[in-house]
Amino acid sequence: MSDSLERLYQAVLAAKDLDPAVSRTAKLFQRGPAKMAKKLAEEAIEVVIDAVNGNSDAVIRESADLLYNLTVLWASAGVRPADVWREMERREHLLGIAEKLPKSAVKLPKVSAPRVARRPIVALESRGLRKRH
């Protein structure tokens, strides 16, 4: 998978300076990180809704969109797929493979990233979830 994301990343870099009238990637770069982040969030929500509704085919399609938009945001932020894989390996060495590191049970080395206030968790119910188009 890392080879596929690296190819996607390279394609994003190659397309970022194309004509925004013909390139979705160039258009996202022209609009900036806030628009990129909004598109990423929209795709994530669509994946969640499709997963809750049990639509596996749609989860696959929307996940591809999610990975594309994540890769665009990475490129804008100067983050390479290899940087993310290194972080995943670091976590694996600390705790083994896990979906996410615990927030409080294990003391991890401090990183220089600023802390962001957490937002409350919102529960989703499967009844009535629909994607907006």
List the domains of the chain with CATH numbers. 2-95 (1.10.287.1080)
The structure tokens listed for 100 are 């996410």
* Mean pLDDT value of segment 3-20: 95
- pLDDT band of residue 72 (cuts 50, 70, 90) is very high
The structure tokens listed for 11 are 């394609």
Mean pLDDT estimate for the chain: 84
CB 36 within 8 A of CB 27: no
- In this prediction the pTM is 0.72
CA-to-CA distance for 27 and 64, rounded, in angstroms? 19
CA-to-CA distance for 1 and 74, rounded, in angstroms? 16
Per-residue pLDDT of 101-118, as tens digits, reads: 666 655 555 655 555 555
CA-to-CA distance for 85 and 2, rounded, in angstroms? 8
- Across the chain, the runs of DSSP E, i.e. the strands, are none
